[in-house]
Amino acid sequence: MQHPQLKSIVQEMPKAELHIHIEGSLEPELIFELAQRNGVTLAYPSVDKLRAAYAFDNLQSFLDIYYAGASVLLTEQDFYDMTAAYLRRAAADNVRHAELFFDPQTHTDRGVPFATAIDGIWRACQDGPISATIIMCFLRHLSEEAALATLDEALPHRDKFIGVGLDSSELGHPPEKFARVFARCRELGLHLVAHAGEEGPPAYIETALDVLQVERIDHGVRCLDSAALTARLAREQIALTVCPLSNIKLRVFDHMGQHNLLELLDAGLAATINSDDPAYFGGYMNDNFLAAFDALPLGLSHAHRLARNSFVASFLPEAAKQAHLAELDAYFAAL
Ligand code: ADE
Ligand code: ZN
């Protein structure tokens, strides 16, 4: 029997978001506002026409429009406004802590200085209303030399980001392409994550772990294609930052009823729920939770476990992690 208040519990429970591309939180309304503010001409005549173009066949068809959307970001204030809007929206979903991906190369390749982007995002993170940290992602469709140059540009801002990740077009760009830059980041004491097993095979998850030595896998849903890998992820409790609505919009699964989230949990994996690019995929954290809980036979214990996993897998200091877990456990104990 499902708990009668399951939906409101899922919305109210404290949670952390570990997989959000901040550029993917740019709503069409804000894209138009920033385009006007900056004198940028868009390929779409209206907010509605832009939103109507958000019908994707796969990851690449999304990335093409996502990089175009990010082209309106020019000033530090633009990056601040985008980030502040996301943090307010996340707080409304009872997200207590967020770890934000940003793609510096998407901006520096357009002539926007690295400092402009990170300073705007970082300043918004300092202003709240929730705790937030930054993870800088390398674009995997570009070269490792470009990633190394980006790392050099980032080093004067080392205190503003806690880790690095790997995103963009997965197929044909295996993690091992970035072995040297991740080795350098490891020496620098940065946290390491990578997108793997979104569209790519289990082998990409294995090389992300073995060659890049990442601490979490972003997406990772294709791990179930390998029984040996699934067993390893369970044994080592490697967190997977799963993004249900993203997986449907990008056709990783045909519909939510076919999503493998419950199988991942049943296999003992440390799965979490996240929004990925909420402005493009139809929803923020609670929309993702509700879509998954509507379509799959998930109950109260799954909700508690997903929220626990999100704090345990976060890169928060141990004391903050324990404080969030205590608040979460007290919330469930009081039901
Ligand atoms: N960049 C933004 N969203 C992404 C995703 N879902 N996969 C890879 N790169 C991305
Ligand atoms: Zn992502």
Q: Is 218 in the pocket of ligand 1 (CB under 6 A)?
A: no
On the 0-12 / 13-18 / 19+ scale of CB atoms within 10 A, 224 is middle
Query: How confident is the prediction along the chain (335 residues), in pLDDT tens digits per residue?
Result: 578 899 999 999 999 999 999 999 999 999 999 999 999 999 999 999 999 999 999 999 999 999 999 999 999 999 999 999 999 999 999 999 999 999 999 999 999 999 999 999 999 999 999 999 999 999 999 999 999 999 999 999 999 999 999 999 999 999 999 999 999 999 999 999 999 999 999 999 999 999 999 999 999 999 999 999 999 999 999 999 999 999 999 999 999 999 999 999 999 999 999 999 999 999 999 999 999 999 999 999 999 999 999 999 999 999 999 999 999 999 999 99
Nearest-CA residue for atom 6 of ligand 1: 276
Say how far apart CA 110 and CA 310 lie, in whole Å.
34
Mutate which of 17, 19, 62 for ligand 1 pocket (most atoms within 8 A of beta carbon):
62
* Two tokens, residue 60: 């690449």
Give the Å distances, CA to CA, from 286 to 109, 122, 260: 34, 24, 18
Sequence-ordered strand ranges (E) for 32-152: 95-102, 131-139
Write down all domains in the chain, each with its CATH number in brackets.
6-333 (3.20.20.140)
Q: Is 195 in the pocket of ligand 1 (CB under 6 A)?
A: yes
Q: In angstroms, what is the span from residue 168 Cα to ligand 1's centroid?
A: 5
Q: In angstroms, what is the span from residue 39 Cα to ligand 2's centroid?
A: 29
Say how far apart CA 83 and CA 27 lie, in whole Å.
11
Q: Is 106 in the pocket of ligand 1 (CB under 6 A)?
A: no
Q: Is 21 in the pocket of ligand 1 (CB under 6 A)?
A: yes
